[in-house]
A and B are shown apart, each in its own frame.
Chain A
Amino acid sequence: MASASIPEKDQLAAALAEGLTSIASSSSSDDLRALMSALAGKKGAIAGVKASLGKVTVIEARKELGQAVNEALNALQDAADARSRELRAGEFATQIQADRVDMTELAMSAEASRRRGRMHLVTQATERLEDVFIGLGFQIAEGPEVETDFYNFEALNMPPSHPARSMWDTLFIESDEPGSVVLRTHTSPVQIRVMQEWPPPIYAIMPGRVFRKETPDATHMPVFHQIEGLVIDRGITFADLAGTIESFTKAFFGEGFTSRLRPSYFPFTEPSAEFDIRRPDGSWIELGGCGMVHPHVLRAGGLDPNEWSGFAFGFGIDRMAKERHGVNDIRDMYSDDIRFTEQFS
């Protein structure tokens, strides 16, 4: 490369050297910004060199000098950027130190101002049960809580004055025809409504509130919750009932749990059974009742027992919630006492 020794070149080198020195010694971002506008601005030394370019007549030399000016400017900018990063890091470090909080203190005040909402233990248990049954292919049916004698008893194979009606302590509604309207004593009337309203096949569970004339104590409430299951299809057998109970047992309680059926009696099923769950430690939970839907009940639901067969099962939801959370007195669950509720976040 041809080189021309011209005074502008020396000026440029001196200006660059001086500029780099002052950048390095700048003490704040603001200083640096001011310095840079002085060094690289229109009144700066480098600008002066640039302005004198026109005076250089040798094209080669002018070109060379122009390039040197650009390089000097770039070098200054690079140095300034680097110094700026240094300065900002230092400045933020101070700011960050000044920003310090005690996270544990914040956690406590966040806790104090937080408003927590909780679902009732029975609602939580109901949703858990629903989810398990949905996984097993069931849909969810609902029915009224105030029921007619027909749905609560008669259609369930308990004609008027049937002695088995005394298995439930019934709360009656005052009406022109005494005894004709009741607070449902079980979720089973929904079975009949579903049979009448849904075309088979039916795979349904029916959770809900039920009522008994019972004085509240640690294990009983006059208002509590049950879940009922109903399967109506072609060729449904007792073995299907046992298998479905087993599937539910494993899905809800866990793989280590098993189930057994033992003979019992309900007017609306035959054969009838109680079902027990065996815990992995070998102990048993007596859970609920079940059985093959009685032909009379199928007929009451408008189904032909020669074409359709099915099974039903039912058990209490409150007890599930009670046992899951170790609640000693079921009345606490219905106290709406925030001192009880707020334990369960």
Chain B
Amino acid sequence: MKILLSILREMADIPADPEVVATALTDLGLAVEEMDIVGTPVPGVVTARINRMEKHPDAAKVTRCFVDAGDGEERHVWCGATNMQPGDIVPLATLGTKMPNGMDIARRGILGIDSEGMLCSEVELGLSDESSGLLILPKDSPLGVSPFEVLGIEHDVVFDLDLTRNRADCWGHLGVARDLAAHFGVPLNGPRINVGELGAEKSLPVVIDAEENCASFSISYVSDITVGPSPRWVASRLAHLGMRSINNVVDASNLVMLETNQPNHAYDAAVVSSFRVRLATAGEKLTTLDGQERSLHSEDLLICNGADNSGVGLAGVMGDLHSEITDATTALAVESAWFSPDPIRFSAIRHGLRSEASVRFERGTDPNAWGLAAERFVTILRETCPTATLHAGATVVRTAHCPQLIPVDVSVDVIERKLGIRIDTDRIVSILSGIGFAPTVKGDVVSSVVPTWRPDCSEPVDIIEEIARHFGYDNIGKTVPNSTVHGRLSNMQQRRRTLRRVLVGLGLDEAMPSPFLAPGDLSNVGLPEDNVLLLANPLVADESILRTSLRPGLLRSLRYNQSHRAPRVGLWEIGHVYPKSDAQLPNESEQLAIVVAGGDAETALSQWNAICDALSVGAQLDQSRVPTGLHATRSATLARGKKVIGVVGEIDPLVLDSLGIEGRVSILELDLSTLLNEEPKPVQARDINRFPSSDIDLAFVLPESVPATNLQRALRQAAGKRLVSIDLFDVYRGKGVAEGSRSVAFRLRLQEEGGTLTDAILAEVQKACVAAGEKAGATIRA
């Protein structure tokens, strides 16, 4: 939102120093995004008339202009623009001028012919951000004077405010001026008003059909006007605020809106002399001022000519092209209404038409600003039409939905409890009256009335915020709460951190790929795609699916690195997956996935072992259930009974081939919502058994079809309570062992509780183990 310092200073006697004002604005919560000093005259630039123009045969893109700057001397200037004609008066930057962009005007020639200056555009003079050629000045401009003077361009300061959603009132200068006046402790004068004598009573008829949408509609009658150009200061201010000058009537209307935040519209009273406000019928047509014919919706609000019920404006958004005022207009019907914010917002969205008016109505305007707006409109108009007459008896129709003044009580104690500082009643009253909240005091309670220009305030906490804002956040002080809560990580969070450190210790890098997938990403890695959530409004179609697995993202990152000469990366991610559920929200859970390029099943298993050690967890390997998308003979699920908590192994070579990944890729996936939430009991110490232990080495021939774990389990059971440890120490395939089998050798360490093992017991255990092994499908090796 652009705000001009000159207008603020007309409304209230605030400091002239822009830095001081900018600081105040920021302290008040009206953040200044940018501060621009505009309209600074450029010394050395003067008005000059183009006497004649010539083309040079060797310089097709430029024109030779011979100009007169009023000193009787004809200067020759090269010019690259094309929008000028002989007789035009244009700005000439004479030799030695320093332009706003830093350029020095020197006698720079083309083809050996000197240029005695430069003809300027609005951009070059710092008057605008864009222009389409030279600035052509009015025909009657004197020569040899500053074009800034000719145009009446005021030196000014533009504050670009980043307004928060709640401050509807600051979409007009008046709201900003009010806050500043209160801040600096000066009276708020508001815009200057001079309407002269009122004309005879004239009330144009108004009917409101849509009472909820249009809660207030006023029409003021203004006669004896002549449509013509605006005064220069009006055009200049509009330009600084980003609007184009049209004519004195439209400009006055726009400036009034920018000043008072009251959008308004002037109709030719000869064309529209009575009004009806109604909802449009579906499909009804209206051509808005931008020349577009629009097909209306049954919830769009229409301003209609009371005579024939035809639309003359899309309420709160934009006027109708055909009822625009013309050069022949002599009397105006000036509309100032209050429209319900939401319907205006929806209309603007429906028609893709956010206008200066609609942004104000959708935030909430002041239903009581119409009178000020009409008077200010006439005041500005009278600068070009001294005869313009505002007539008494303006029509104002209000419905039951019109915003009311809201009384709010708040006690000084409540304010103190909220802010943590005692602000005395006088100060509170002075703050609230400064911003128009009309406070009164009864004992401990300050009663105020929320003015209609502050639709954001309705409750005690709103009033407290206003007090805090004007008291100054910096003056409130800093304390620290007296907490009885102790800061700590939860068990789960602690375990997650342990896990991260284990992963980093394994030499693996954390990845964070996008949780959005493209259609096909899941099925390409062998995972189902029927249980996914879809984004209703994805940025791009390739990011329209919410992941149900971390695998596609990690494999994509792995492939990316492979294609950038990093063939052996190891990546992990801890992140959420979102499979669809029957409930409103998905079965969101936290998962871990690790992929290692060049890693194999053993890599994945050793990672799993490291995690088991660190988190004191475990699971059974079940190779009979091959997880989808994984290598059919080199993968297993990690299960606890029937519950699968993860998968371990290698990615299906077919998947790798289709993704263009080279070599093996190991994978470990774990459901952390299970593993991290466990709280293993601390292991209880046992006394060291100081009796000697003995080892038995047993080698078996085991068919490949029998998992080694079956044999180990059998041996463990057979060895019984004397078993201290059982380790696989050798696996052999080849000569001497039948095809389809392998030799596996276990070392069992045995120890007796409270005594030394006897040879007899050792022999007995060995016998039992051999028998158990045979039962498990193994054959003891001779």
- Point out residues on A near B: beta carbons under 8 Å: 114-120, 122-123, 127, 130, 133-140, 144-148, 161, 163-164, 167, 171-175, 178-181, 183, 201-203, 209, 213-215, 222-223, 231, 233, 235-240, 242-244, 246-247, 260-265, 267, 270-274, 292, 294-295, 309, 333-339, 341-342
Contacts and interface: CB of A to CB of B under 8 A. Distances in A.
Interface in B526-560: 533-539, 543, 546, 557, 560
Interface stretch (B247-255, B472-480, B626-634, B697-705): B472-480
Contact of B487 (A119, A138, A144, A264): A138
A173 B536 CA distance: 5
Interface stretch (B190-198, B283-291, B561-569): B561-569
B479 A163 contact: no
Contacts of B733: none
Contact of A201 (B484, B489, B493): B484
A133 B468 CA distance: 27
A239 B421 contact: yes
A174 B545 CA distance: 10
A207 B461 CA distance: 28
B584 interface: yes
Contacts, number: 238
Given A119-B504, A172-B535, A260-B474, A338 B569 contact: yes
B610 to A, nearest CB: 12
B487 A164 contact: no
A295 B536 contact: no
A338 B29 contact: no
B487 A270 contact: no
B512 A247 contact: no
A137 B555 CA distance: 40
Given A171-B537, A244-B480, A246-B478, A146 B514 contact: no
Given A118-B504, A201-B485, A238 B420 contact: yes
A336 B483 CA distance: 41
Interface residues of B, number: 83
25 contacts: A117-B509, A117-B510, A120-B510, A120-B512, A138-B485, A140-B490, A144-B588, A145-B576, A146-B578, A161-B342, A172-B537, A202-B485, A209-B576, A222-B543, A223-B515, A238-B468, A239-B420, A242-B479, A262-B27, A263-B473, A265-B166, A270-B465, A273-B473, A336-B512, A337-B560
B497 interface: yes
Interface centre among A144, A161, A235, A270 (most CB of B within 10 A): A270
Contacts of A201: 483-485
A139 B488 contact: yes
Interface string B445-477: 000000000000001011011001100011011
Given A163-B342, A233-B483, A239-B419, 18 more contacts: A118-B504, A123-B510, A130-B489, A144-B585, A145-B588, A163-B165, A164-B165, A174-B536, A179-B536, A203-B481, A237-B419, A262-B26, A262-B29, A271-B464, A294-B461, A309-B417, A334-B512, A338-B569
A284 B158 CA distance: 23
A213 B539 CA distance: 6
A222 to B, nearest CB: 6
B535 A134 contact: no
B364 to A, nearest CB: 9
Contacts of B487: 133-139, 203
Given A171-B535, A237-B420, A180 B584 contact: yes
Given A140-B490, A263-B28, A238 B560 contact: no
Contact of A140 (B420, B476, B493): B493
B584 A264 contact: no
B418 A292 contact: yes
A333 B417 CA distance: 44
Contact of B513 (A161, A179, A246, A336): A336
A137 B566 contact: no
Nearest to B575: A209
Contacts of B481: 203, 231, 233, 236, 240, 243-244
A147 B537 CA distance: 16
Given A145-B576, A146-B533, A339 B566 contact: yes
A164 B497 CA distance: 37
Contacts of B585: 144, 146-148, 181
B420 A146 contact: no
A160 to B, nearest CB: 10
B534 A336 contact: no
A239 B464 CA distance: 14
B749 interface: no
A145 B578 contact: yes
Given A140-B489, A213-B539, A295-B459, A265 B164 contact: yes
* Ranked 9 nearest A-B pairs via Cβ: A263-B29, A115-B507, A237-B420, A239-B420, A265-B164, A117-B504, A336-B557, A243-B478, A134-B487
A292 B460 CA distance: 13
A206 to B, nearest CB: 12
Contact of B584 (A175, A260, A274, A295): A175
B462 A270 contact: yes
Contacts of A339: 564, 566
A128 B420 CA distance: 30
B106 interface: no
Contact of A117 (B462, B486, B506): B506
Contacts of B363: 163
Contacts of A336: 511-513, 557, 560-561, 571
A174 B533 contact: yes
Given A137-B486, A163-B345, A239 B512 contact: no
B500 interface: yes
Contacts of B569: 338
A231 B484 CA distance: 12
B617 to A, nearest CB: 20
Contacts of B561: 336-338
A148 B342 CA distance: 23
B537 A213 contact: yes
B371 interface: no
Nearest to B473: A261
A214 B297 CA distance: 30
Contacts of B560: 335-337
